[in-house]
């Protein structure tokens, strides 16, 4: 017996449900997509989504972690 409910064709997504846009890099700190990419995701072709997903690991370096309290915050200004 086949159960089509469990064979849905879901849209691939890198979303990890940790959504916050980095103020300087302007990308999501969870999935590393831009606001435009997030907003247009469901309208993009599977190929375009895969291109974005392939580039996401390269974007992680855009998010600087601040360490060192106040001095690190002042250094990033």
Write out pLDDT tens, residues 6-51.
566 678 899 999 999 999 899 999 999 999 999 999 999 999 999 9
Q: Tokens 């997903």 map to which residue? A: 53
Q: Which is more confidently placed, 26 or 73?
A: 26
pLDDT in the model for residue 47 = 94
pLDDT in the model for residue 61 = 87
pLDDT in the model for residue 12 = 86
Rounded to two decimals, what is the model's pTM? 0.69
Q: Distance between CA atoms of 42 and 46, rounded to whole angstroms?
A: 9
Assess contact for 20 and 27: CB atoms under 8 A.
no
Backbone angles phi, psi at 59, to 5 degrees: -85, -15
With a cut of 80, say whether residue 3 has pLDDT above it: no
């Amino acid at each position: 017996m086949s159960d089509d409910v469990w064979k849905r064709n879901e849209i691939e997504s890198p979303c990890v449900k940790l959504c916050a846009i980095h103020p300087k890099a302007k990308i999501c700190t969870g999935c590393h997509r831009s606001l435009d990419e997030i907003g247009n995701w469901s309208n993009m072709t599977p190929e375009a989504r895969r291109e974005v997903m392939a580039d996401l690991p390269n974007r992680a370096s855009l998010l600087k972690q601040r360490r060192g309290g106040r001095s690190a915050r002042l250094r990033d200004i």
